[in-house]
Structure formats: structure tokens, C-alpha cells
Structure 1
Amino acid sequence: MATISGDPIARRTGEADLRRPRRVPPPHPVSRWPWLWLVVGAALLPFAGLQTLVPLTAWVAPVFLMRFTRSRRPVVGLPVLVVAISLALLVGLRGGFFPVEDGIGYYVFVAGLGLGGALPFAVDRLLAPRLTGLSRTLVFPAAVTTVEFLSTFVSAYGTAGSAAYSQYAGLPLVQLVSVTGIWGLTFLVSWLAPVVNQLWERGWSAPGGRTPTVLFAAVLAAALLFGGAQLAFAAPAAETVRVAALAPDRRLSELAYSAPAVPPGDAAGRAAVRDEYFRPVLDELFARSEREAVAGAEVIAWSEAAARTLEEDQAAVVSRAADVARRHGVYLQVSMIVQLASGTGSDGGPVNENHAVLLDPDGTVVWDYLKSRPVPGDGHDPGPGVVPTVDTPHGRLATIICQDDFFPGLVRQAGRAGVDILLVPSSDWRGIAAWHAQQAPFRAVENGVALVRPTRQGISLATDGQGRLLGHKADYDLASDQTLVVSVPTQGNDTWYARMGDTVAFASALGLLALTGAAWRSRRRPGGDAGTARTGSDQAERPAPVDGLPAR
């Protein structure tokens, strides 16, 4: 220990030094940027999962939002994040994107979505600082995947808006869903944010920074290599069948859906509505169906809600369809909204039913499928949720209707049944047309089925079992003819997802529970400190610096 000399000046200086503590610089510079990271991340969000999809933003936006939440105390950062996500959703949901009426209920709905979007960041903020190395980067993707999966059990919209759908344009990467379902792709997209933040906080050379980065890069490369190999070496190689996908004439369809209310006891009034509003679109659809049958189509499918009919006329419409199928020797699926005679509205029962009826070349009704997952407010009850199938000379056919395709578990029935061609009659509106069309092919890849999607007020398309676009018609608001004719492979392929189901989603949920337990044990360990990592020699290292907060 140094001594102070007898010199009075030196003594006074030394005493003063002992009395006045030195100003110690902070252990690391405090960032002034966290609010900028919030703005950048929130600005990217509207393009990451809603109607204007830019695939890269789904990877990048969470990076900046996580940088913000890890830089602020939870009591401040997380409520601010909920507000930021909700504001971004208001931009993304513009133009009547969801069928929710404007008003206080709409804003409560958006705030609920914002809270759900912020939940994985909250889990990361609370658990990740108490973990080390690779496990620290797994909290967020496991939380995102778990939240998305659990929401399918309570949300009327199923998997709509999943992070996986943002990658619709990357066909090699989309092939991953044939093994893991969308859950593996959701996990992969979400994993980038904690990996980048790990590097941001610790650097490449620090313990815990290199391994997650290398592993993430290896998994991403493996997914791309697998997808590329699938597309190159396992492409569908089967005969094709000519399929005609019909959406109704726009003007006539608008006329049908502008019909006045039809009271159940007024037979003359109901007949007048039928003749003036409903019959014209039916006549036009049957005429086009016959034209396509003559031209060589062997399977003809109408869009969802292509026609509108009264309950007492339903049998006559089916009989007319059977006659067309029998005379031309085709499979004809007619889709219609049946206005119930006794329907009284949401308080007193359904007002309509949503049917897809398939007739075989003998004119026999193969199935009469009721939509399983109706959009809230559509006016009809859900069907039994059983996907029908039939063997034909053109492969095994099945059908679902529109929003049914947001529920992978429902559609997986087709994959397990070895379906070759899945008919998906749909009806959209302008705000969701492109967004919904981008998500539908994921069901084809998951189950190895060709998909034919005739769409009213939206985009009609067809893909093979690997998501390759076979036909695409996006001119509903412009063109007078709404017929898409495509040649579709008659043989599908088996997929791991059809066999294994949502294994990856369950594994993510269990993994999140395990990570929560590990973080809890770290908290209770004597001397344990959040963010304190241990090296391979079990020596404690400095706590990970977090922007805006001094290390402890």
C-alpha cells in the first residue's frame, strides 16, 4: 500500500484524494438510439405480415423491436411496444382489410392484436437475460411459434397473419413446410432477431455470440438446400387433367348480392327476387360450365358463393348441375349461398348456408360440403369439419371452402387421405385478395396436393404440390370473363407434415416451458444474476451490456 510523504502539500493532496471518491466512467457507453430502433421496427411491420407483404421485413422488423425492448426496462418498453404494434396494425389493416366495423370495437380488436404481437417480446425480455449462449436465442422464436399455434385454437381466423406466410415468394424456403408445417418456417424467421441481438450486445468474439450465429446460418442453409433439391429432383411427374375454375360475372354477381330481403312467407315476392336477381348469374355460370366442358375440361369448379339461391330452389339447382355433368361426362362442383327460409339472423339462427356440391359424370352427388370455418358475420353455422374425398380417373379429389385454408389441421385431412387435387372455392374482397392468395399455396406444399382456387372478388389460381404457380388470374375488377383454365397433375406426393402434423409447434411449446424453467432456476441460484453467462470453464463473465441500461 502506498504511503503519503511528510510533505504537508503532499499530505493534504493525499487526504483530499482519500476523502473525495474518483468519478468512475460507466462500464460501457449508454446508447442514445433505442427509440430510433423502435421507429424503424414499427415502420417495417405493416409490410411484414399483412396486405402489402415485403418478405425481408418479416426478418428485419423484429431485430429492431427486440433491440428496443432489451434496451428499456420492461415497465416502459413493453407497453410502448404494444402501442407501436397497434399503430402499425392500423396501417396494415387499412381499407377494410378485416371485416370489423369501425368504432370502439375495432380499436379494441386492433389493441388485442397488438398485445398478442408484443407477447413474444415480453417473454424474451423476461427470460432471455437469465439465460446464456444458444438457449438465450431460442426464447423468442419458441415464443412466437407457441403464440401463433395456440391462437389457432381461439381465433376465428386461424393462422392468418403468421410470420411464415411472409415468405410466400421464396419457393425453396417454402418447401420447409412440407416437413414442419408453417411452424418450422415461423421459428426460422423469428430466430434471426435474437441471433442478431446477441451479436449486437456481445460481439462475434465474446462467448455466446458465435455458436448461435453459426447454427442459425447452418439451419437456414440446410432449409434452402433441402427446398432447392426438392424442386429440382422431386418435381411432380404425372399426367395432367384440364380443370376450369369459374368465378361469376362481376356485374351479375353484384346484382345477386344486391337483392332485397326475402320474407319467408311471401312466395310471390321470393319468386320475383329469384327471377330478377338470382337466376341471371346461375344461367351465366351454367352456360360457361357447358362451354368449358365442350372445350375439354374434365373437372369444373365454381368459386365460393358463385351463385345465390333460395332454400326451396336448392334441389333444382343441384338437379340442373347433375344434368350438365351427366351430358358432358365431367366432374362439376357448384358452390352457392343458400338463403334459408326460416333464417332470422345472428340472434335467432343462421340466415344462410355455404355449400360446395360435387356431381360426378353420372350426375350423382358425390358430396355436399358445408364450409367448416366461416368468417364471423357471414350468417351461417360451421359445417362438421370433415374434408370429403373421392377417387376419380383424374386422381383423388377433395374440397374445402375459402377460409378453411387458414386451418392447417383441417386441411391435413386431405394430406393424410392421399388427396391429389384439392379444390378451394373462395370469395375475397379487394383488401385481402392478394394477401389471401399468397397464403393458400402453403396448404398445397404441406400436403403435397395440387390446389385449384376459383375466387370471386379476388385472385383465382392453381399450383402443384410444391407451390409452383400453374395458373393465375388477378383481373376480377377489370376483365369481363372470369374463367381460369389449367392443366393440373393428377398425382400428389406424400409429405412429412401430413404424417407428423404439428409436432414442431408442440416441440416449440415444450421447449419454451423448458427455457422458462431454466431461467427460473438461474434466478433462484445463489449469486445468480440476469444476463450473467458462464464460459466453458464455468467462470463467470461480465453481464451482457444492454443499450440504454448500465451493466450490473
Structure 2
Amino acid sequence: MLSLRLAKERWSAWPLIVLPLGVLEYVSGEHPDWALVAWVVPLLWLLFFHHTRPLVGYGVGLLGLTLVYSTQHTVNILEGTSFHVTNLVFAATYLLPFLLTRTLMQRVAPAGRWLLLPLGAVSVEYVLALGPNGTWGSVGYSQQNLYLRQLTACTGIYGLTFLLYATASLLFEALGYWRVGQRAGRPLRLAAGLLVVCFTLGWLRLQQQAPVRASVRVLGLTFQDARSWPWFQQLVGSPSLTLRHDRRQIRQKAVAAHRYYLTQTQHWVRRYHPRWVIWQEAALVVYWPDYAAFAARNARFAAAEKLYLGVTYFLVDERFPAQPGTNHLTIFSPQGQVLYDYAKNKPVDGMEPALAAQQPPTLFQIDRIRYTGAICADFDYPSIIRHAGMANIVFAPAADWPGIGELHARMAATRAVENGFALFRITSHGTSSLTTAYGETRNSQQHLSPTVQALLATVPVQPVWTPYHAWGDFFAWLCLGGFFLLAGSRHWLFSCHRSSLPAYKERRSSD
């Protein structure tokens, strides 16, 4: 009878949680910068799973969350089957830590139960980050507080994920005590202690910043006006032109666009007098037989204007886009030489017909300042950008769409804090910004207008050492190992009795 009564209690309670969960998940998708929502939602999911059987709760949650994601076409712009499959995968992996926590809760000693969710969440996020989507979907990116973001210099983005879920898990434990009329001092003190320590250490790190030893004037340009050639849409999105059949016309268009971009660059250079100019991602398409002439024009321009010129382009042959090209950032020196040539490591699967390069970012040095660069989605993968960790300044040409502009800029900025470099990011159809090695946004600008837009920034040079750059994903591995250790042992590292928390005694008796 007790088991039947408890089952009825569970089934009568969970529908009351579904509505606020759906609303908050929708809000967090539409407004990923609403950081407070990310602290509330995990607690509600814990309550939801607590009032359902594990697989039933997972199925209901998966259906509801997939429906919520299906309304947010501005974030996921894939179409057809790819759109729905992507939503389903993100929903399934997002809910997996809650399912694991609910399933394993009775196998773990009471003192360690609160660790199940944060350890499981970090483990799932880390395993997913090794796949084709990188760190997309990490709840850690929801946090913009500058003090908390300093945590990523030690733990990577996974430290923020751990903190969010640990706080929710401890509050859930406190609710379990309150439910049976007992005091919840221990979990509340522990949650408050975690937050105080993280905020305090972040504040101290910002107070003890490395001195700025130099600065570099950088100009970023995005070409989106009527005279700019939207070659990607014509050759890839809706191939009204093809290199195989319209080779002469495309080559003429490419040369005309290149000359126009150089003219616009000259205008802005003579207005602001920067030392560096960086273009948006994939500003041009270059046909292989025309590459030598293309490079020669850039070299002459950089030498004439006495600046470092970073040009961005797709290098393709006549079979493009059926045969993928390569997505490049090439920097020309004031002496007219190629100083740095980088091909994108992580093209966007299903959207970008480019071959994935295997060479990570490399460093080059000018006047004792170390530089490097990577392209757009490469910054979604911490393991790639760790190769840039010894740089003082990193350039990030990118191309976004408005639905992810702020979030994608924040993801790239996290790599700057993790590795201790200043990041200059210039993007079309998104948010361009300058981020210091401590995550401070010095310049930020929306590049959405159909015009040629410029972002001028003075980039500070601060030599900053970070534990994350030195030790990599040690925290994620620690969480992964801790989760398996916790899940595989009934008593973990604690010497405790067979009794459980009051909130769960009632449930164990019903089983």
C-alpha cells in the first residue's frame, strides 16, 4: 500500500514541474545570456526525475525538450532530418546526467550523492566535446560573470558546469531534509562555501593581473555591403554558378571582389592607421590557378601600406563544392612575405564544404610579441586552441548568424581565459570583440548591417600563465574517473552506515 501511495504522489507531482521546466528551457534557448536560468533549471530537472521512474522521466523529458528545441530555428539553422536529429541528440545528452543520477542514487553512500550530478554532467560534456560538435551545448557558457569565468583558467569550461550542477544537487539535497522536517545546514553550507570560494578566487585573480607590457593596434573588417560578393550563397547555398560551367565569370567576380576589398581596406587603414588588418572568415573564393596572382596583390598591398594584412578565403578547384576546398587565414607582412598560413581544422559539418586541416595553430613572433590565429569553429574545441596558449595575441576571423552571435563570441572568449591570451575576433553576421587574457571585453560590436563595417581595437599584451594550458583537461578526467568510482562503489571513500538521507529513506522502504 505504501508503494502504491508513493507512486501516486510521484505521478501527481511531476506534471506541475513540467510546465515551468518547458518555459525556462525555452527562455534559456532564446536568451542564452540569462545566466540565472541556468542555475534554476538543473534543480527542477532533479525534482522532475525524483518524482518519476527513471526511464519514464527520461522519455517524457526527451520528448518535451526536443519539442522545445524544434521551435528555435534561429539557433539551429539546419533543415529537414538534420534539424530534428540534432535537436534529439542535444536533448538526449543534456538529460543523460539526470537519468544517471536518478538511477545510481541508491547505490551511492549518502555523503557522496550530491557529487553524482556534477561529476556525471562534466563527464558527459567532456565525452561529447571529443566528437564533431565540440563544446556546443555546455551549460558553462551560460555564465558571464567575470569572477566566475576565472575558474576556467584552471579547469576549462568544465569547472563552470561542475559548479552549476553541484549547487543544484546540494539544494536538492537540502529540499530532501526539509521535506521530512529536518535541518539542511550541511548541504547549504557546502553550496555557499563553493560559491564563495569561486567568487573570491576569481576576484583575487583579477586584482593581481599581469602588467600590460605593450599594445597593438588592430583593425577588423567585414564586407557585407551591396558590392561585396556573396559567393558562398551562390556557389554553395544555391549553386546558380559553378566553376565547371561558369569558370570565367566566377574568376572575374573573384578578382573584382578582391580589388574592391583592398580598396575598402586602404580607405579604413588611412583613416585609423592600424598596424594589423584582419578580414572576416571566408571573405573570398580563390580558384587554384589564380592563387599566385591573388597572393601577389596582397603582398604588394601590405608592402605599400606598411602593415600586416590577414586575408581570408576558400581555396578551391573546378569541382567545388562537390569537391571540398580549404578555408584559409593568410597573413602578409609589410615586406610582402607570407608570415602565417593556416587552414581551418574544424569546418562546420553539413554546412561548410571544406576539408579539415590537421595542422593546429602555430606561433610566430614580431618584436617579442607572440601571435597566432585560428578560424571560427576551431574555438569550439579547447584541445585545438591549447596549441595557441603560448601566444600573446590570437586572431579569430569568423562567420556566424544572428541566432548564435553572442553565444559563439562568448565561447571563443572562454578559450582566451583558459589559455591566457588576448583574442581579437572579427565576424560577419555576428558579434565581433576584443577579449583580454582575463576575459574582459574591451571592444564589442554587432556586425549585422549590410555595409562594410570596421572594428578598431588596441590589443593589450599580458603574459599570463594558466594551469589549464599547462595541464589540459585534468579536471575533466578527474570528474570522469570520480564518476565511475562513485557509481561503482556503494560506500565510495566514506565510512558510513547503511542508513540514507531522510529524504530517501521513504523511497527505499517503498522498494
TM-score by length of 1: 0.84
- The aligned residue for residue 382 of structure 1 is 356
Tell me whether 1:367 sits opposite 2:340 in the alignment. yes
Which of 461, 479, 488 pairs up with 1:508?
479
- The aligned residue for residue 151 of structure 2 is 176
Matched ranges for 1:85-104 at <5 A: 85-91=65-71, 93-95=72-74, 97-102=75-80, 104=81
Matched ranges for 1:153-552 at <5 A: 153-154=130-131, 156-167=132-143, 169-203=144-178, 209-234=184-209, 236-259=211-234, 260-264=240-244, 269-275=246-252, 277-294=253-270, 295-343=272-320, 345=322, 349-350=323-324, 352-377=325-350, 378-393=352-367, 395-415=369-389, 418-477=390-449, 480-519=451-490, 538=497, 540=499, 544-545=503-504, 551=510
- Amino acid of the structure 2 residue aligned with 1:88: V
Superposition deviation, residue 23 in structure 1: 11
Distance 1:312 1:436, change over 3 A: same
The one-character-per-residue Cα deviations of 1:102-145 (angstroms, maximum 9, x if unpaired) are 2x443233222221111111100011233233310000111110
The one-character-per-residue Cα deviations of 1:228-284 (angstroms, maximum 9, x if unpaired) are 1222221552321110011113323354345442333x6xx4232232x33343223
- The aligned residue for residue 9 of structure 1 is none
- Amino acid of the structure 2 residue aligned with 1:436: H
The one-character-per-residue Cα deviations of 1:317-355 (angstroms, maximum 9, x if unpaired) are 22111112222222111001223224461xxx42x2211
The answer (yes or no) to whether the contact 1:72–1:549 under 8 Å persists in 2 is no
Distance 1:164 1:157, change over 3 A: same
Of 188-197 and 335-344, more deviation after overlay is shown by 335-344
Query: Which ranges of structure 2 fall in alignment gaps of 5 or more residues?
Result: 235-239
- The aligned residue for residue 15 of structure 2 is 35
Number of residues paired by the alignment?
502
Distance 1:208 1:94, change over 3 A: farther
Q: Give the whole-Å Cα distance in 2 for the aligned partners of 1:59 and 1:24.
A: 32
SS at match of 1:388: coil
Distance 1:355 1:23, change over 3 A: closer
Distance 1:325 1:145, change over 3 A: same
The one-character-per-residue Cα deviations of 1:68-117 (angstroms, maximum 9, x if unpaired) are 101111232221121122122223x323x224212x44323322222111
The answer (yes or no) to whether the contact 2:174–2:187 under 8 Å persists in 1 is no
SS at match of 1:375: coil
Q: Give the whole-Å Cα distance in 2 for the aligned partners of 1:161 and 1:286.
A: 38
Tell me whether 1:74 sits opposite 2:24 in the alignment. no
- Amino acid of the structure 1 residue aligned with 2:454: T
The answer (yes or no) to whether the contact 1:70–1:547 under 8 Å persists in 2 is no
The answer (yes or no) to whether the contact 1:397–1:421 under 8 Å persists in 2 is yes
SS at match of 2:407: helix
- Amino acid of the structure 1 residue aligned with 2:165: S
- Amino acid of the structure 1 residue aligned with 2:345: S
Q: Give the whole-Å Cα distance in 2 for the aligned partners of 1:550 and 1:540.
A: 11
The answer (yes or no) to whether the contact 1:27–1:550 under 8 Å persists in 2 is no
Of 40-49 and 112-121, more deviation after overlay is shown by 40-49
Matched ranges for 1:55-74 at <5 A: 55-74=35-54
Q: Give the whole-Å Cα distance in 2 for the aligned partners of 1:344 and 1:28.
A: 57
Superposition deviation, residue 65 in structure 1: 1.2
SS at match of 1:504: helix
- Amino acid of the structure 1 residue aligned with 2:41: A
Q: Give the whole-Å Cα distance in 1 for the aligned partners of 2:225 and 2:114.
A: 50
Distance 1:400 1:546, change over 3 A: farther
Distance 1:542 1:337, change over 3 A: closer
The answer (yes or no) to whether the contact 1:424–1:451 under 8 Å persists in 2 is yes
Distance 1:47 1:236, change over 3 A: farther
RMSD: 2.9
The answer (yes or no) to whether the contact 1:300–1:330 under 8 Å persists in 2 is yes
Identical residues among aligned pairs (%): 27
Superposition deviation, residue 545 in structure 1: 4.1
Q: Give the whole-Å Cα distance in 2 for the aligned partners of 1:105 and 1:487.
A: 41
SS at match of 1:544: helix
Q: Give the whole-Å Cα distance in 2 for the aligned partners of 1:270 and 1:340.
A: 10
The one-character-per-residue Cα deviations of 1:439-486 (angstroms, maximum 9, x if unpaired) are 2110111111110111112221111111111211104226x3311000
The answer (yes or no) to whether the contact 1:49–1:163 under 8 Å persists in 2 is no
The one-character-per-residue Cα deviations of 1:183-232 (angstroms, maximum 9, x if unpaired) are 11111111122111111112399889433332222121111111112222
Distance 1:127 1:49, change over 3 A: farther
SS at match of 2:37: helix
- The aligned residue for residue 237 of structure 2 is none
The answer (yes or no) to whether the contact 1:444–1:467 under 8 Å persists in 2 is yes
Q: Give the whole-Å Cα distance in 1 for the aligned partners of 2:424 and 2:4.
A: 66
The answer (yes or no) to whether the contact 1:238–1:490 under 8 Å persists in 2 is yes
The answer (yes or no) to whether the contact 1:462–1:486 under 8 Å persists in 2 is yes
The answer (yes or no) to whether the contact 2:170–2:190 under 8 Å persists in 1 is no
- Amino acid of the structure 2 residue aligned with 1:401: I
The answer (yes or no) to whether the contact 2:229–2:257 under 8 Å persists in 1 is no
Q: Give the whole-Å Cα distance in 2 for the aligned partners of 1:359 and 1:428.
A: 25
Q: Give the whole-Å Cα distance in 1 for the aligned partners of 2:427 and 2:413.
A: 14
Superposition deviation, residue 174 in structure 1: 0.6
- Amino acid of the structure 2 residue aligned with 1:298: R
Of 439-448 and 293-302, more deviation after overlay is shown by 293-302
